[in-house]
Each structure stands twice: as C-alpha cells, then as structure tokens.
Chains A and B, each alone.
Chain A
Amino acid sequence: MTVADIVSRAGIARNTFYENFRSKEDCFLATQEYAMTAALERVVAAAGDLGNWADRVRAGLTAFLEYVAEEPALARTCMVEALAAGPAAVERYEKSQQAFVSLFKLGRDVSPHGAALPETLEEAIIGGVFWIVYQRLAVSEVATIPELLPQLIEFALTPYLGAEAAREVATGDGGTVQSQARS
C-alpha cells in the first residue's frame, strides 16, 4: 500500500494527505488509534453500568466482538496489520490489551480463590481472547467471530468462577451467577 493508494481511495489530493499526516506510518498509527478508541468506548459503554462483574465481562466481550464484526477492516488494521507495522504500532496493540486488564481484575473480588490466582492471569486471558480473534481476522473468517462469544466468555470466566458457573454466564442464564460463585 502506498500514499497514492490511500489518497485515491479517500478521494483527496496528495497535498491534503500531507497536511494531515507526515507519512504512511503516521496515517497508520492514527487509524489504529481511532479504531482502538472506538472499540474501547463501546466496551466501556456496554460493561460500565452493570453491577455484576460476570455480566460486565459478558457485555464487554459482546461489545468487543460486535465491533470487530462490524468493522473488520479496522479490526484487521489494529490486530493483524499492526503486528507487522513496526514497534510503535505493536506497542499500541499491546496497550489496547492492557485496557481490558482492569475489567478482568475485578473478578478476583468475586472469585472464591481470588487471592490465590496467578498475578499474570488477566494478561494471559486477554492475550488468549485477542489471539483467537486475530486468527479469525488473519484468515478472513470474520463471519465466524460472533459464534466465538460463548466460548470466549467461558474461557475468560472459568479461572475466577469455575467451569460450571462460567458456562452458565456464557450460555446466557447467568443472572445470579455471582452470588452462586461466592457460596
């Protein structure tokens, strides 16, 4: 891809491109930043208001996968091409993963064995979720992404709540799961 490709797709003059971006790389980083911010806003809006942590995770992951399915080209930019776009882009990709960490960490408070969970658990869970989505985007299987939702919810919740309670949330009848997990 060249700057010429970008300006021709955008229907703007080359001059206009350089008034806005220093280079193709600069434009790439701005696109990545834009898409990541949009995705995170959607996740926060979906997950923010719910009182129950497991429901928040479910809502957050749902919003995330919806965004990816709606904007596969942007998601590819953020999660596939970013990995081959140089250190600055990779760094931002890593940071976007970290944004999910705080949401997952709250699960330690509701987990019966929260204190004993490995320190790196959240990083590993989010790395796993991103990897699965990344693989589907890399091979252009965008259509299969929404089907992954129950599997990813279950994967993310199991370490905190145990497999059974995690499955209940994943399959959608987990309204009172948090209190069940506590007992």
Chain B
Amino acid sequence: MSDPANPPVDSPEYPPELARLPPGRHGLPREFVSHNQRERLIAGLAEAVAENGYAGTTIAHITRNAAVSRRTFYEHFGSKDECFIAAYDTVMAELRKRVGEAFDQQDEWPQAVRAGIGAMLEFLAAEPNLARLSMVEALVAGPVVVERYDAAIQSLVPYFAAGREGLPDDVLAGLSPTTEEALVGGMVSLISRRIFADRTEELESLLPDLVEFTLTPYLGSAEAAKVARAS
C-alpha cells in the first residue's frame, strides 16, 4: 500500500525493513531509525483506528501493527491521543500539500478549484484508512483534534474566496461574507458522509457536483456547470 502518512525513509536506497533493526548494529544513525519508528507508529495507528475505531484502539494494536515495542511507543508519544494527533497532522499536511499543488498548477481560478477538489477526492479515495482517520475518527478523538479539524476545514476558505477577485461589483455585492464558509462546510459534509458510510469508492464521482456547487455563487449556475462537466 502506498501510504503518504508514512513516506519512504529519508534515504530511498535503504529498504524500509532496515528500520526494523535496532539502532547501532547496522550503522544507521539513531535519529534515522527513530524518525522511521515514529512514522511506522503513525501508520500503525491509522491501521488500528480503521479496524477498531478510535475508542477501541489500544496501544497494543498500534505497536503490533508498527512492529515496535511498547517502550518504543512511549519514547515517541505520551499517549494514544498524542499519537493520534501526530497522525492527524501528518495526514492533513499531505492533503494540504496535494490540494495546494493541484490548485497552483492551474492558471484560471475555476480550473484551479476543480483541480484542488479533484486532488482531495483522489487522495481520500486512494487512502480509505487515512480518510476515515482524518474526516470521521478525528471527531471522536477529543477536543484538541476537533479544534484542529475545524481549523483545517476553515483553512480551505481562501481557495474559494480567491474567486471574488475580478468579479463585477453587482455579483460581489450579492456574495454574503459567509459564502465561502458555507461552501466548504457543504463540500466537507458530502465527503465525510461517504467516508462515514464506508463508501469511499464513490468519492471521485462527486467531483462534478462539488465543482458546480462551489463555483455557482461566483460564476452563476450555467457557467459553473460548464466547468464542472468539462472533460
């Protein structure tokens, strides 16, 4: 499985299994192994949470999946919560990077929105475990994570707000200040509901609907539909 939360180790010429060796015997620097253990624990948590839910996940599940000792777990994280937060941040950083890159590659704003939403759906569909972790389990993982979740969703607002630039005054006057927040909330609700119901395979087919929905306030429904349905 390609796992963006657990990217290949810093030196790609080392096969990842090397990191299973204890530090010292194979000449790998200690921080390299340590870094890799942390990544493995994060991937182990994502797997455990997908199987058991956040509440049902134990540190034993995580260490078993990561093939590290309990002691190693506590060298990296103080608790299951702390490990979850690290996992959540890793997933969101990857998602943010992919969306940002896809968005920036387009010259025109409507196409950039389409590319950004497309990148998000593609990532979540390809990584059902990480999708569940970041969009469903995050909500039951305590106030710290919920706060980050809220902030992560609100951080999508500027991508849409960029659509205000260059709009005629009468259209601008008609856009209420909460337009972007409502669009982001609507989009995320559609996505999370599919993930919640274990229907991640439907995510990518949401692209035209989401593009039309989010572009309509800026471009009107006819133009929004044209961008959304373009092949």
**A residues near B, CB below 8 A?**
83-87, 90-91, 94, 97, 113, 116-121, 123-132, 134-135, 138, 148, 150-152, 154-155, 158-159, 162-164, 167
Contacts and interface: CB of A to CB of B under 8 A. Distances in A.
A120 B212 CA distance: 10
A86 B140 contact: yes
A127 B176 contact: no
A128 B209 contact: no
Nearest to A153: B176
Nearest to B149: A83
B72 interface: no
Contact of A138 (B150, B179, B193): B150
Grouping DSSP codes into helix (H, G, I), strand (E, B) and loop, the A interface class, with mixed when no group exceeds half, is helix
B139 A155 contact: no
Q: How large is the interface on B (under 10, 10 to 19, 20 to 34, 35 or more residues)?
A: 35 or more
A129 B176 CA distance: 13
Contacts of A84: 139-143, 146
A128 B140 contact: no
Interface of B: 53, 55, 136, 139-143, 146, 150, 153-154, 171, 174, 176-179, 181-190, 193, 196, 206, 208-210, 212-213, 216-217, 220-222, 225, 228
A130 B181 CA distance: 11
Contacts of A124: 186-187, 189-190, 209-210, 213
Given A117-B221, A119-B209, A120-B209, 12 more contacts: A84-B140, A94-B193, A124-B190, A128-B183, A130-B189, A131-B188, A132-B182, A151-B176, A151-B177, A155-B182, A158-B216, A159-B216
A129 B171 CA distance: 21
Given A94-B196, A113-B221, A163-B171, A150 B213 contact: no
A92 B209 CA distance: 25
Contacts of A155: 176, 178-179, 182, 217
Contacts of B174: 154, 163-164, 167
Contact of B225 (A116, A150, A158, A162): A116
Nearest to A89: B140
Given A124-B187, A124-B209, A90 B181 contact: no
Contacts of B141: 84
Contact of A131 (B146, B186, B208, B216): B186
23 contacts: A83-B140, A84-B143, A84-B146, A85-B140, A87-B140, A90-B140, A113-B222, A119-B209, A120-B190, A120-B206, A120-B209, A123-B190, A127-B188, A127-B189, A128-B181, A128-B183, A132-B178, A135-B181, A138-B150, A155-B178, A158-B217, A159-B221, A163-B220
Nearest to A120: B209
B190 A127 contact: yes
Nearest to A119: B209
A144 B163 CA distance: 26
A125 B217 contact: no
A128 B55 contact: no
Given A151-B176, A154-B176, A159 B196 contact: no
Contacts of A131: 153, 181-182, 184-186, 188-189
Contacts of B177: 151
